[in-house]
Chains A and B, each alone.
Chain A
Amino acid sequence: MTTVIAMRDAGFILGAYAATVAVIGSFALWVLRAGRRSGRLVDDEEKYWT
């Protein structure tokens, strides 16, 4: 971890990684949660992937 902190411009670099992880993570969670919510209301035979 010390090598990471020792980087020059660590704030910007880690910020870019953090933004990427945060945005993708929340988008993925949102998609999964929406799927779970709607999936409960539909029978499995109607889902083409089951």
Chain B
Amino acid sequence: MTPTTSPQPTARRATGTRATRVLGIVTLVMLGWLLLFGLVLSPADIDQGDAVRIMYVHVPTVWLAYLAFIVTAVCSGLYLFGKRHSLGFDRVAGASAEIGVVFMALTLISGSLWGRITWGVYWQWDARLTTTALLFVTYIGYLAVRGLDGTRERRARRSAVIGLLAVVEIPLVHWSVRLWRSLHQEATILDTDLDVDIDGLMLFTLFSGVIAFTLLFVWLLLHRTRTIALDDLLASRGLDRAIAERRAEVSSSSPSGGGS
């Protein structure tokens, strides 16, 4: 089988470009910078001691996870209500949700380790934590819906609707969980909140963390969106080839009157 449409199939590049490579290097440098400041150069907190160092990865991941879910919701809306129903928006929505789920998993891991140090337990049924966990599971469900069968357009429409339904439901979930927690104001040993007084070098470190993870998010989003685009292209090409083969089969078998 020789390609007839493009006489000279050009070099097969992956999802990187010069821009993403530069972005990737800057991201790596920023992450190294964050490790240096977070683990070594920044001071320990007066109340929390060294435990405060977890904040520099915990807070940026949760912010970026929320940002990722906002991107998913916005792109779902743009896909569904845009005039062209561009599948590009659907891919960005899917890629962003995936990254959001990864970041949120990291938030839950680092948060529970932080909680273990400051509260003595990994988990506390606080409104914020509970909502975060429910949000995490909701977007796992969203990704499961994306994995369902169907044509590209159907899958895109379906997941856009699920992505927008989440926007309606999440505030209600948060509201109900907050009401639930405000009922039981148990004054316990767990009353130390994760909030700390931030100043100087600590603020600077946190700021570097946010920048590092924002760059990481953009880099991952670019690559993941392109990977999805490639997979879509391959899937549709596979379909085209299957149809072409079927056609060839029919046209070659009909005049001769059968045969395999």
Contacts and interface: CB of A to CB of B under 8 A. Distances in A.
**CB atoms of A and B under 8 A apart anywhere in the complex?**
yes
Majority-rule SS of B interface residues: helix
B109 A16 contact: yes
Interface string A20-48: 11011001100110111011111111111
Given A23-B106, A47-B13, A50-B13, A28 B220 contact: yes
Given A19-B106, A35-B223, A44 B54 contact: no
A13 B51 CA distance: 6
B146 interface: no
Given A17-B38, A41-B12, A47-B230, A32 B102 contact: no
B10 A3 contact: no
A23 B102 CA distance: 8
Contact of B14 (A8, A20, A36, A43): A36
Contacts of B9: 43
B114 to A, nearest CB: 7
A35 B180 CA distance: 45
B74 interface: no
Given A16-B109, A17-B38, A43-B10, A49 B57 contact: no
Contacts of B17: 49-50
Nearest to A19: B109
A10 to B, nearest CB: 7
B32 to A, nearest CB: 10
Given A15-B113, A20-B61, A42 B220 contact: no
B80 interface: no
Interface residues of B, number: 45
A6 B213 CA distance: 27
B50 interface: yes
A46 to B, nearest CB: 6
A11 to B, nearest CB: 9
Interface in B209-252: 216, 219-220, 223-224, 226-227, 229-231, 233-234
Across the A-B interface, give the 4 residue pairs with the lowest CB-CB distance, nearest first.
Answer: A35-B15, A38-B230, A39-B14, A7-B50
Interface of A: 3-4, 7-10, 12-17, 19-21, 23-24, 27-28, 31-32, 34-36, 38-50
Interface of B: 6, 9-17, 35, 38-40, 44, 49-51, 53-54, 57-58, 61, 99, 102, 105-106, 109-110, 113-114, 116-117, 216, 219-220, 223-224, 226-227, 229-231, 233-234
14 contacts: A12-B51, A12-B54, A12-B114, A17-B54, A20-B106, A24-B106, A27-B99, A27-B220, A32-B223, A39-B13, A41-B12, A42-B233, A43-B9, A43-B10
